Amino acid sequence: KQEVTQIPAALSVPEGENLVLNCSFTDSAIYNLQWFRQDPGKGLTSLLLIQSSQREQTSGRLNASLDKSSGRSTLYIAASQPGDSATYLCAVPNSGGSNYKLTFGKGTLLTVNP
Amino acid sequence: DGGITQSPKYLFRKEGQNVTLSCEQNLNHDAMYWYRQDPGQGLRLIYYSQIVNDFQKGDIAEGYSVSREKKESFPLTVTSAQKNPTAFYLCASSSGRSWDEQFFGPGTRLTVL
């Protein structure tokens, strides 16, 4: 059974700092890994999708990496802003590679202080 | 605008009542999903549908039912058999291909009175 762990559970940083969020998973037989953002009381916004054949994916100030062999992914946020404050979730397909069933981590609550 | 809509945003249920949560998408996606989110826990899959007129149970299907009569719509009924229904419910969709993203709606918060 796929398990996903996100560390740290919460992170507070001053504005402008670069930061890294971590995601680890137990079964490396995955098609892809997806990073999401969730604001309080809202749905999930897809940030980045990394295919298993890729090592990195970038969107603006966000950069996500994937190391399947070690079961790890990182989300790097450059020059953080107060508007980046949210919960960040990673998700991978369940064992067997089907994208129909995702397993989510519990998320990292990020607070960026002005 | 393409996207996923969920209604209502807030829903209150009395003990013993069934309630239905709406989910509609105009992304022309084949696959749709229902998740439940509780504080301190990750999202858990309730039901999913890969194609019209077909759906499968997820990890926590007991006390819930769904239908998929139209490609655009995937309503979720929370029955009286669900013992602890208070939660945030999220609907999602994807093309159904294994390499594609899932996109989420804004959610419905259900509270049992």
**Element spanning B7, H or E:** strand B4-7
Supply the mean pLDDT for chain B: 92
Distance from CA of A105 to the nearest CA of B (A): 6
Size of interface A-B (CB pairs under 8 A): 65
- Are residues A46 and B103, on separate chains, in Cβ contact within 8 Å? yes
Amino acid of residue A40: P
Q: Helix, strand, coil proportions of chain B in percent (round to 5)?
A: 0, 50, 50
- Are residues A49 and B101, on separate chains, in Cβ contact within 8 Å? yes
Task: Compute the average pLDDT of residues A82-108.
Answer: 84
The residue that leads in pLDDT, A61 or A98, is A61
Closest CB to B98 among A4, A44, A97: A97
Count other Cβ atoms within 10 Å, centred on residue A23: 26
If you count DSSP H runs as helices and E runs as strands, how many of each does chain A have, helices first?
Answer: 0, 11
- CA-to-CA dists, residue A107 to A9, A14, B31, B40, angstroms: 6, 20, 24, 9
The Cα A114–Cα A110 span in angstroms is: 13
B contact set with A (CB within 8 A): 4, 6, 31, 33, 40-43, 45, 48, 50, 58, 88, 90, 92, 94, 96-107, 109
Max mean pLDDT among A10-14, A90-94, B78-82 falls in A10-14
**Element spanning B10, H or E:** strand B10-13
Model confidence pLDDT, tens digit, residues B56-77: 999 999 999 999 999 999 999 9
Q: H/E/C letters for each residue in A36-74?
A: EEECCCCCEEEEEEEECCCCEEEECCEEEEEECCCCEEE
The Cα A105–Cα A25 span in angstroms is: 9
Closest CB to A99 among B6, B88, B99: B99
Model confidence pLDDT, tens digit, residues B34-48: 999 998 888 999 999
